[in-house]
Chains A and B, each alone.
Chain A
């Protein structure tokens, strides 16, 4: 695939030779995630998170398909069926807790995966398409997670559906019509619950499809690496298998260890207790909050409290919330610096750490009550978020003087281990 020195699949047994002639699926796997994919030799543990996200999707699909065997998607029975899963279905509690906490784990690893991309410039040329597909996957994940949270039909499910579909009523003129069309009624009810279930079942497979495109696009330039320097030759790479299958295997163990701790010892710690109250259309919970992974975006939504240049505050909030994600689609062209890795970009490194704290601040504000102090914090946080991408990043790309880059990945690796001098390395191979 990517490099001329990539190993080629050579089936040894007659059966595999026969299969390779008819349907070269093992060849595809060998080239994609086997020894046929040369990968930079210096990847650190941040490069585990793509594989972990893929595994998290598999866990969600397996637990989700089995939960769907016991779930009833009508407003009168959904809550009861989820309780029956928890109490009566054999190992039902395990499947549901794994699915609910699996969603959280999925978002944790995806957020780290995204930050990895931001830090090491993995969104930059020639990997823009990988980034665009990744942001698409993220949007699909958010839609899937939101619809999944509605399915238990508890108070937070119901009011979450009410608030999120309420976003669409902010669209001028046709907003209310769109909202009623989305819900199939005037408030969330059977029609909405059923279609959410249908789409919640569908979208993970769409995500799987986009992931295939994401990996396909990755294999054309090959993986980025912590130096951001291009692969120069065979000495810069190792085969994905066994080197990174082993490294990912270790990361997988750590991931499963944390996941299991959450699942078995604190399965409700990330959920909201109000979702164990059946949905009631006549009573709003005192404090509507989405799941934790939406808090930063919810904070941006709530940051707009006054009309501005004739646009209602509500529409501004909705536009800003969607804009905060859509902005990421433009990232490859907002950052014009030729240097990828923030390890060699002193100003960007500081800005990214500030951005990380800003997103954590937004997360805190989004999960907390909308007090006057929190609204102001949210406004500052939201303003900084947009400023980072629209002002600070383009400015840094122009003004920053990068630290001197290593000549090659191999040189960087050997220098780090105090080994041979750079000049030596080039000759060594």
Chain B
């Protein structure tokens, strides 16, 4: 480039004449410097993006313990997990039978009741109470709630209906109610998260 050979006005051009290579040393320095600055610029974006992820104190609220002893068959309770409603339901034998009678192939999000519960504890259905459509809380956990046409949960916002295994059966929601990670500490207590 012409600019490379430019000599400050009034100075002796002699020291500025360097031997011409291809690529020249100056090209290399130029590209290396701009590339380094570019990498540095991109690296600065990372913390700016990452600061928006859940902070440590939000993540620290990630476990919830639930005492199941007082929940009779047919009853359910609402508690919270990660500040979201958590539905804990003790299914009746009739509800379990209804859930097992469904043809899995006909489901939008095919899962059996057994896959959504723990082995030997099929009556304990633990799900988030967050409709998978746009996040409303479905009705049906409290006695006397409208449980919709499939006897499980019914979201009043846009009419999604879930069955007794909290699987999506009708309406706009794409997925079954989310089953979080949980473990049985004893027969009557679980830890979620």
Contact = CB atoms under 8 A, between A and B. Distances in A.
Interface of A: 159, 162-163, 165-167, 169-170, 180-182, 184-187, 189, 191, 195, 281-284, 286-288, 302, 304-305, 307, 312-315, 317, 370
Interface in B36-56: 49, 52-55
Nearest to B53: A181
Contacts, number: 87
Given A181-B52, A184-B58, A313-B174, A281 B80 contact: yes
Contacts of A195: 52
Contacts of A181: 49, 52-53
B89 to A, nearest CB: 16
Nearest to B130: A187
B85 interface: yes
A162 B137 CA distance: 10
Contacts of B132: 314
Interface string B166-183: 000001111000000000
Given A191-B55, A314-B133, A317-B172, A307 B108 contact: yes
A189 B137 CA distance: 16
Contacts of B85: 281-282
Nearest to A165: B135
B134 A314 contact: yes
Interface of B: 49, 52-55, 58, 78, 80, 82-85, 108, 130, 132-137, 156-159, 171-174
Given A180-B54, A189-B83, 4 more contacts: A184-B54, A281-B85, A282-B78, A314-B172
Contacts of B171: 305
Contacts of A184: 52-55, 58
Contacts of B82: 185-187
A313 B172 contact: yes
A176 to B, nearest CB: 9
Given A184-B52, A282-B85, A282-B137, A370 B174 contact: no
- For A169, A186, A195, the residue with the greatest tally of chain B CB atoms inside 10 Å of its CB is A186
Given A162-B135, A167-B134, A283-B137, A185 B58 contact: yes
A383 B60 CA distance: 46
Contacts of B157: 163, 284, 288, 370
Contacts of A182: 52
A186 B83 contact: yes
8 tightest A-B contacts by CB? Answer: A166-B134, A186-B82, A312-B174, A166-B135, A162-B135, A284-B137, A163-B134, A284-B136
A286 B146 CA distance: 12
A186 B80 CA distance: 11
A276 B85 CA distance: 22
A314 B174 contact: yes
B159 A186 contact: no
B158 A302 contact: yes
B112 to A, nearest CB: 21
B98 to A, nearest CB: 24
- For A165, A187, A283, A302, the residue with the greatest tally of chain B CB atoms inside 10 Å of its CB is A187
Contacts of A180: 53-54
B134 A162 contact: yes
Contact of A166 (B58, B83, B133): B133
